[in-house]
Structure 1
Amino acid sequence: MMYDCNLKIYQTLNVQSEFNIGLLLLYIIEGSSNISINGKTNMYKSNDMIVINDLDHYRILSSKKSVIACLFLSRVELDKFFRFNKKYYINKDKLDLSVLKFYMNKLIVNYVNDQSENEKQNKILEYINQLVMTLHLYRKLDGTIISNNIDVYSGINYMYEHYKEKLYIGKVATQCLLSVRRFSNKLEEVTGMRFNELLRNIRLSYSAFDLMYTKKLISQIANDNGFTNESGFITHFRDKYHITPAKFRKQLENDHYYPFHNKNTTLLRSFEHINDQIKYLTDRDVDYVSIDINMKNKIRSKISTPNLLIYIRDIETLTNNFQQSKLLSMRREIGLFGLLFSHQLFYELYQSNFENNKLVHQMFSFSLEHQFDISFEVKLGKNQNIEEFTLIFKRLLNYLTDCTYFYGQRSFQFYIDASYYQFNRISKIIQDNLKESKVILVLNKQNNYLAKRMSHKVNDNKQIACKVHHEIDSDKDITSILKNNPSLNILYQPNIPNRIESLISIFKWSIAFNQNISMIIDDTWLDSMIPSQSTHLMIKELQLNKESHYQLFELILTLKRLRGDIVYFNGLILMTHYLNEYQIIIFPNMKIFNRLHQRININGFKLGEIEYRHHDILIKNNQLIINSDGDTHQNMAEVSFKREIGKLIVQFYTSPYAIKHIYIKQKIN
């Protein structure tokens, strides 16, 4: 239902004076239009995209031959429907208009095409959602809006946040530190509306949202949105929208709601004369995006390559000859990685006489002889007897002390998920027995607050780590902890193996906050992560590969190979530089694209003759990408290079189904 209210195609769109609260996107399909934004007027022509920001004044004048598509996203939709996270103000200087044009093209095509109402609605909502998520990347945060009237803007925001309450102009003026008269005059100057009119419009916007997306009674909607009675609400709603709330709700699907009410504005009802343009948009399945990267402006922070830990649940992983060969095969493939012994495994061994257990000796001899980094997981409940546990734990430390004598390895790591008091007790015991070992406090919901108090405790032997299982864990609390603790480690332990999107999200998160990340992979996934040398297991492994186990391993391998400085990162493309080599990771583009052609212009590129290699990590069941016509895109994997003076141009195709890794280095003849 939302697209009936948000997306419109107009022939002749003339709006003399408006005050925008939300985001307004205009796409000129045919003709031209004079559009004024905050007093600055420009002439826009066919195929131009215009973004009108929150709290902007605008004026639109077009001729009868012009056709303009308009997408209006009010604060209500952005806040409730899309969770847009204020501010609703887009940095238009950095905005990639080509991506927005692509989404608008798809919106228009589905809006005018003949298809069932439900199918049309679902597609429109999907494209609007993708478009808004793109805008979200370019939003400006609080404090970056025009500073001249920031006090009035803060008053408007306060009215939005408290619109359900009984608001008086005196209360809002006090919040802005202005007199009532001064605030009233400035509010009318900025918005063109007086206080009561603006407050009423805010309440009506939220009421319209409730009418669209809820089944509440009219009386309940009036009460929930700050109106004193139902009759008053109906009167105000009819005055603004020229329709009663009940009829508005009934006629949503019949295209009876108009964002603009100017008499000179005409809604386009017949699309016959723009069929050629629509056909062009329909047939266009490739979008072209160009990005400029200047080597002089490269980010100097070193990229922290991820560590890999194999989570040992079963003692057979380290005692069975076949499983041991798997681990050694993985080492040949990706280099060094560590072993993390689960708390559950060792708790079971604690119950037995593990000092004399031959399997335990075999497990440690294999691990230490092949010089694996060894870590231990320690979990303690809040009410668990610490004295009883320490007695058992000292037996393990005593055993490890003997191991250091025989094998020479003196450093171990202990990930302790316990209260701060328990952590201190255990860490002291570890330091008394294995001085060179590291102890890491794993944050959980009970001890998150400790992170802010632990900064002075962090040193070579004591660290803090935050465990996440998937991107949903990346909440505001963890983000604030990361900002305050630059030395915090991230432990990423997916619950299921095919969480590739999750790993990408966590890896981007670690780059944004410049954090170390350790990826913990369950030992039960090993069979599928390394192709077997034994043919009788191939059928089983092929079946597991379809569930993306091997793809996850391949992505981890790619990320571990990254090194050097971060030259460029925009959330989709990561470029690193190390001596005479460059690496480019292209993460999957948004799932709306059939194909996306990227062009990267690397300015200040100083290498002479180059050589390169690249590979694609397919994340859709290892299948080739098929377009809507059933043809395979033969050129999806192509990467081309072009040299100009002081510049290297890299061109390639991306899709939502693949991660692309491009490695460039100087050629030695």
Structure 2
Amino acid sequence: MMYDCNLKIYQTLNVQSEFNIGLLLLYIIEGSSNISINGKTNMYKSNDMIVINDLDHYRILSSKKSVIACLFLSRVELDKFFRFNKKYYINKDKLDLSVLKFYMNKLIVNYVNDQSENEKQNKILEYINQLVMTLHLYRKLDGTIISNNIDVYSGINYMYEHYKEKLYIGKVATQCLLSVRRFSNKLEEVTGMRFNELLRNIRLSYSAFDLMYTKKLISQIANDNGFTNESGFITHFRDKYHITPAKFRKQLENDHYYPFHNKNTTLLRSFEHINDQIKYLTDRDVDYVSIDINMKNKIRSKISTPNLLIYIRDIETLTNNFQQSKLLSMRREIGLFGLLFSHQLFYELYQSNFENNKLVHQMFSFSLEHQFDISFEVKLGKNQNIEVFTLIFKRLLNYLTDCTYFYGQRSFQFYIDASYYQFNRISKIIQDNLKESKVILVLNKQNNYLAKRMSHKVNDNKQIACKVHHEIDSDKDITSILKNNPSLNILYQPNIPNRIESLISIFKWSIAFNQNISMIIDDTWLDSMIPSQSSHLMIKELQLNKESHYQLFELILTLKRLRGDIVYFNGLILMTHYLNEYQIIIFPNMKIFNRLHQRININGFKLGEIEYRHHDILIKNNQLIINSDGDNHKNMAEVSFKREIGKLIVQFYTSPYAIKHIYIKQKIN
């Protein structure tokens, strides 16, 4: 249903003056158009793409023969479907318009083609999603928009957040630190609307969303969106959209509704005469990219492979036979990894007599007998009594001392999230009881400043780590700290299991800046990450976990198997060399918009006859609808090798949807 109102193709499009709340994308298919954005007018011609930002004031004047595709997305759609999280402003200086053009072309082709309604809708939704997720990458996350009207913009945002309430202009003006008269004048100057009209339009925007995507009664929609009664809502809706809410909902099914209404704007009714132009615009494709790699040029000696920690929240993870088998299966596949006992788990155990708890004995018995590296999370609030905590904490250390006697393990790790004073107190207690253990101060938003002053404190048994939950590039504070402190470790703990893009981003960061990274995986994700050995359990898991997270496990497994020297790394391609083996990882390129044929020329390649294996890790890029094309994926998976004197040529395809791993080694006859 989304595209029925969002995407339209106009024979002529003229808008005298409009204030945009949301994102508006225009694509000139034929002809030309004068478009003014915030007072700056430009002439746009065929194949030009225009992005009109949130809170932009615009005017469109088109020639009679111009054909323009228009895609509009309201704020509520951007938040509900694409997780914009109230950050709508796009940094157009960094935006790659060629990507948007490609998706827009695909969108238009599927919109005008004759095909079944379901197939048409699925493909259109897929390309809308790809296009909008491309915009999502270029949002301004810090919220800074350089403008003389920032106070008015904050008032508009406040109106959006409180549109359901009884809002008065005085209350909003106070939020903006302006007088009512000053705010009213500036609001009309910026938006072309008075306060009541803008508030009404915001409420109508949310009402239109409910009409499109919910089955609520019209009376309920009116009540939910701040209107005093149903009749008033219907009147206002008809005045703005030139149609009643009931007819609006009905006409969505026939695609008759369109957002711009004036005498000089008409929809394109027949698509026949633009088919050739659309074909011309969409047929241009990327050929291939060739990269030369010289084996003599090594970036540095060793690659730092990521560590893996399983975050233990539930004692059953280490006492239940089924869960134990999962961990051991993972151990066989992935090699060494550690267990990180959550603070919450031990806080609950502290409340009871855990020294005599059989489940606790069983938990440590399993962990130590199978020689897992054991770590503990320790969290202290600012106002927490350190004396009371140390008494309880010493009981745990005493218990661990007994474990070292029975099982032989001498070293544990303690990740301490506390103030520097508390950290020193706790680390001294640990060193007094378990001398070979390591203590790591976990930096958070409150004590990031310590990173700049503590490089001299780092040694074998005392370290500093910075915990992140998302892409590092999006956090300027963390970025600057990590760049200036290469001795810091990165603790990556995603909040949800399918953040593959974040893991890739942070892993590439660790390579670029030679920093150690530890990935923390929640124990509740094990069922969906690691397939069972028995077929009946596998079927049961598939039923319980409709969205398997096996891709995450497969990616971690691939990264853990990297070893040796880094031969080449450009942010998208990583190549390592170890004895008689080479590994190549091609990361997904979010800036490409179609299959891209790539060729790597490895100069100075000295191995004789080779054997290889490769596989693709398909990732989900937060798509609304994912259609897998079997033939296309088969072509994507193809890898070819060609030998020349002193050179190996590797050819393959890449896409935004897959990580490709190629393993090459010398063949022994």
TM-score range, shorter chain: 0.5 to 0.7
Give the superposition deviation at 1:333.
11
Summarize the Cα distance change of 1:299–1:47 in structure 2 as closer, same or farther, 3 Å threshold: farther
Give the superposition deviation at 1:270.
0.8
Summarize the Cα distance change of 1:302–1:34 in structure 2 as closer, same or farther, 3 Å threshold: farther
1:102/1:287 contact within 8 Å kept: no
1:76/1:206 contact within 8 Å kept: yes
Three-state SS of the structure 2 residue aligned to 1:286 is: coil
Establish whether residue 364 from structure 1 lines up as the match of residue 353 from structure 2.
no
User: Quick check: 554-563 or 48-57, which moved more?
Assistant: 554-563
Establish whether residue 612 from structure 1 lines up as the match of residue 612 from structure 2.
yes
2:309/2:518 contact within 8 Å kept: yes
Summarize the Cα distance change of 1:106–1:33 in structure 2 as closer, same or farther, 3 Å threshold: same
Distance 1:538 1:160 in 2: 47
2:125/2:625 contact within 8 Å kept: no
CA displacement, residues 49-105 of structure 1 (integer Å, 9 cap, x when unaligned) = 110111212222222322111001122322334331233211111001122122212
User: Quick check: 122-131 or 568-577, which moved more?
Assistant: 568-577
User: Quick check: 552-561 or 122-131, which moved more?
Assistant: 552-561
CA displacement, residues 133-175 of structure 1 (integer Å, 9 cap, x when unaligned) = 2111111235532321111211222222222222222222222
1:37/1:59 contact within 8 Å kept: yes
2:87/2:143 contact within 8 Å kept: no
Matches within 5 A, 1:110-509: 110-141=110-141, 143-279=143-279, 305-308=305-308, 411-414=411-414, 430-439=430-439, 461=461, 503-504=503-504, 507=507
User: Quick check: 161-170 or 513-522, which moved more?
Assistant: 513-522
CA displacement, residues 331-387 of structure 1 (integer Å, 9 cap, x when unaligned) = 999998668799999999999999999999999999999999665799999999999
Distance 1:230 1:527 in 2: 49
Give the superposition deviation at 1:11.
1.0
1:98/1:287 contact within 8 Å kept: no
2:551/2:619 contact within 8 Å kept: yes
Give the superposition deviation at 1:574.
8.3
Give the superposition deviation at 1:434.
2.1
2:296/2:604 contact within 8 Å kept: yes
1:625/1:632 contact within 8 Å kept: no
Summarize the Cα distance change of 1:359–1:71 in structure 2 as closer, same or farther, 3 Å threshold: closer
Summarize the Cα distance change of 1:515–1:87 in structure 2 as closer, same or farther, 3 Å threshold: farther
Give the superposition deviation at 1:16.
2.3
Give the superposition deviation at 1:473.
18
CA displacement, residues 389-443 of structure 1 (integer Å, 9 cap, x when unaligned) = 9999999978987999999996432569999999999966643232231246899
Give the superposition deviation at 1:521.
8.3
1:546/1:622 contact within 8 Å kept: no
Matches within 5 A, 1:20-39: 20-39=20-39
Summarize the Cα distance change of 1:600–1:487 in structure 2 as closer, same or farther, 3 Å threshold: same
1:218/1:230 contact within 8 Å kept: yes
2:26/2:51 contact within 8 Å kept: yes
Distance 1:193 1:602 in 2: 62
Summarize the Cα distance change of 1:530–1:32 in structure 2 as closer, same or farther, 3 Å threshold: closer
Three-state SS of the structure 1 residue aligned to 2:538 is: helix
Summarize the Cα distance change of 1:134–1:627 in structure 2 as closer, same or farther, 3 Å threshold: closer
1:466/1:488 contact within 8 Å kept: yes
CA displacement, residues 460-495 of structure 1 (integer Å, 9 cap, x when unaligned) = 756788999999999999999999999996666899
2:295/2:605 contact within 8 Å kept: yes
Over the matched positions of the two proteins, sequence identity in percent amounts to 99
User: Quick check: 330-339 or 650-659, which moved more?
Assistant: 330-339
User: Quick check: 564-573 or 457-466, which moved more?
Assistant: 564-573
1:624/1:632 contact within 8 Å kept: no
Distance 1:539 1:410 in 2: 41
CA displacement, residues 489-529 of structure 1 (integer Å, 9 cap, x when unaligned) = 66668999999678547757989999853246899999999
CA displacement, residues 160-203 of structure 1 (integer Å, 9 cap, x when unaligned) = 22222222222222222222222222222111122222222222
Give the superposition deviation at 1:225.
2.0
Distance 2:460 2:382 in 1: 27
Summarize the Cα distance change of 1:509–1:262 in structure 2 as closer, same or farther, 3 Å threshold: farther
1:615/1:662 contact within 8 Å kept: yes
Summarize the Cα distance change of 1:80–1:359 in structure 2 as closer, same or farther, 3 Å threshold: closer
Distance 1:436 1:132 in 2: 52
1:594/1:627 contact within 8 Å kept: no
| TM-score (normalizing by structure 2) | 0.66
Three-state SS of the structure 2 residue aligned to 1:539 is: helix
Summarize the Cα distance change of 1:133–1:424 in structure 2 as closer, same or farther, 3 Å threshold: same
Distance 2:545 2:221 in 1: 52
Summarize the Cα distance change of 1:448–1:234 in structure 2 as closer, same or farther, 3 Å threshold: farther
Summarize the Cα distance change of 1:196–1:98 in structure 2 as closer, same or farther, 3 Å threshold: same
1:568/1:575 contact within 8 Å kept: yes
Distance 1:450 1:618 in 2: 40
Distance 1:10 1:591 in 2: 29
2:126/2:625 contact within 8 Å kept: no
| TM-score (normalizing by structure 1) | 0.66
2:290/2:600 contact within 8 Å kept: yes
Distance 2:263 2:623 in 1: 54
Summarize the Cα distance change of 1:289–1:322 in structure 2 as closer, same or farther, 3 Å threshold: same
Summarize the Cα distance change of 1:622–1:537 in structure 2 as closer, same or farther, 3 Å threshold: farther
The alignment's C-alpha RMSD in Å is: 8.2
Give the superposition deviation at 1:658.
3.0
1:583/1:662 contact within 8 Å kept: yes
Three-state SS of the structure 1 residue aligned to 2:510 is: helix
Distance 1:661 1:332 in 2: 20
User: Quick check: 43-52 or 399-408, which moved more?
Assistant: 399-408
Give the superposition deviation at 1:215.
2.3
Summarize the Cα distance change of 1:53–1:387 in structure 2 as closer, same or farther, 3 Å threshold: closer
Distance 1:528 1:79 in 2: 27
2:472/2:505 contact within 8 Å kept: no
Give the superposition deviation at 1:7.
0.3
Give the superposition deviation at 1:228.
2.5
1:99/1:289 contact within 8 Å kept: no
CA displacement, residues 301-342 of structure 1 (integer Å, 9 cap, x when unaligned) = 999752245899999999999999999999999998668799
Summarize the Cα distance change of 1:164–1:481 in structure 2 as closer, same or farther, 3 Å threshold: farther
Summarize the Cα distance change of 1:568–1:19 in structure 2 as closer, same or farther, 3 Å threshold: farther
Summarize the Cα distance change of 1:65–1:215 in structure 2 as closer, same or farther, 3 Å threshold: same
User: Quick check: 614-623 or 78-87, which moved more?
Assistant: 614-623
Distance 2:504 2:422 in 1: 34
CA displacement, residues 257-291 of structure 1 (integer Å, 9 cap, x when unaligned) = 22111211110111111222444567678698999
Three-state SS of the structure 2 residue aligned to 1:153 is: helix
2:102/2:282 contact within 8 Å kept: no
1:170/1:180 contact within 8 Å kept: yes
Instruction: Identify unmatched segments of 5+ residues in structure 1.
Output: none
Summarize the Cα distance change of 1:355–1:645 in structure 2 as closer, same or farther, 3 Å threshold: same
CA displacement, residues 539-578 of structure 1 (integer Å, 9 cap, x when unaligned) = 9999999999997677446545889999999997889999
Distance 2:442 2:428 in 1: 16
Distance 1:132 1:622 in 2: 11
Distance 1:225 1:543 in 2: 38
Distance 2:603 2:152 in 1: 43
